Amino acid sequence: METHTDQQGHVGLSGRRTGVELTQRDFDVLTLTHTFSQVASTHLSELLFADRSHSVPDKVLGRLVRLGYLSQVGRRAGGDKGGAGAYVYQLGRAGRLLLEVDGRLMPNVNNHALMVADTYLELRRAETLGVLALKEWSVEFSVPPSVRADLFAEVDFPQQSRSSSYFLEIDMGTEQAARIREKVDGYWRAVEASTADYFPYVVFVVRQQSRRNELTRIVQRLPEEQQEMMRVLLFPELIPELMRL
């Protein structure tokens, strides 16, 4: 579907829905939501509404839900202290038509998708602080011949005068050892097929130390050359550890 932007920053929709106008920020909300498949209101607020008051994102997201461009899936699980978490959104039927997205709406909160968005948000926070510059990034990045990285990131570290790239695997602690080894084997086949001078580190990002220990044991049983390309990092330590790689 074609769009155009007028001088007031509104995106006029041609085609299926007439008489409806979206701002450029509305369109950015839909695009970001589609990229990660699901996002929490906290992701959208920090990434797209940092220059606005706290009430603005609630109003915008509420309007997009009423118009059918967004669908509210539920709430994200609260933290250790309990309580209700942030609302989670996916594209609604009108949003899927607008962005020409196939498939059905998901009935439940996808915690893996949310943690991928968390990881991207951490990179953007580090960029805001001047720690790094995110040059390129992609979700579900194809790594031929057989792997798709949850998140690919190419970054500059200005204070270190260097650049680096990472294939980030967001681990929820649900995959068995055989599946982890299969994934690593896929990355190793990519290394063998690559003609580049440099192959990005494969970084498993986990929430809990116990899972880090488990994955570290799996990695330590791999051939030495495969161990060299692998890292297992705790989410809170992600940015400082990437800076050391």
Tallying the residues shown for the chain, one arrives at 245
> Angle 201-206-212 (CA atoms, 0-180°, nearest 5)?
85
| pLDDT attached to residue 21 | 83
- In degrees to the nearest 10, what's the CA dihedral of 180, 107, 29, 236? -40
CA distance 220 to 223: 8
| pLDDT attached to residue 114 | 98
The 10 Å Cβ neighbour count of residue 62 is 13
Per-residue pLDDT reduced to its tens digit, 177-210: 999 999 999 999 999 999 999 999 999 999 999 9
- Would you place residue 31 in the very low, low, confident or very high pLDDT band (cuts 50, 70, 90)? very high
| pLDDT attached to residue 54 | 82
CA distance 36 to 120: 10
Beta bridge partners of residue 5, listed in sequence order: 11
Q: What is the mean pLDDT of residues 167-185?
A: 96
Tokens in use for 184?
């690593």
- Is the pLDDT at 17 greater than 80? The verdict is no
| pLDDT attached to residue 184 | 96
| Residue pair 71/105 in contact by the 8 Å Cβ criterion | yes
| pLDDT attached to residue 53 | 82
Q: What is the mean pLDDT of residues 221-239?
A: 96
Q: What are phi and psi of 150, to 5 degrees?
A: -55, -40
- Is the pLDDT at 235 greater than 90? The verdict is yes
- Is the pLDDT at 11 greater than 70? The verdict is no
- Is the pLDDT at 8 greater than 50? The verdict is no
Per-residue pLDDT reduced to its tens digit, 51-97: 888 889 999 999 999 999 999 999 998 754 545 689 999 999 999 99
- In degrees to the nearest 10, what's the CA dihedral of 24, 76, 62, 34? 30
- Is the pLDDT at 20 greater than 80? The verdict is no
- Is the pLDDT at 40 greater than 50? The verdict is yes
Per-residue pLDDT reduced to its tens digit, 108-158: 999 999 999 999 999 999 999 999 999 999 999 999 999 999 999 999 999
* pTM for this prediction: 0.89
- Is the pLDDT at 33 greater than 60? The verdict is yes
| pLDDT attached to residue 56 | 94
- Would you place residue 7 in the very low, low, confident or very high pLDDT band (cuts 50, 70, 90)? very low
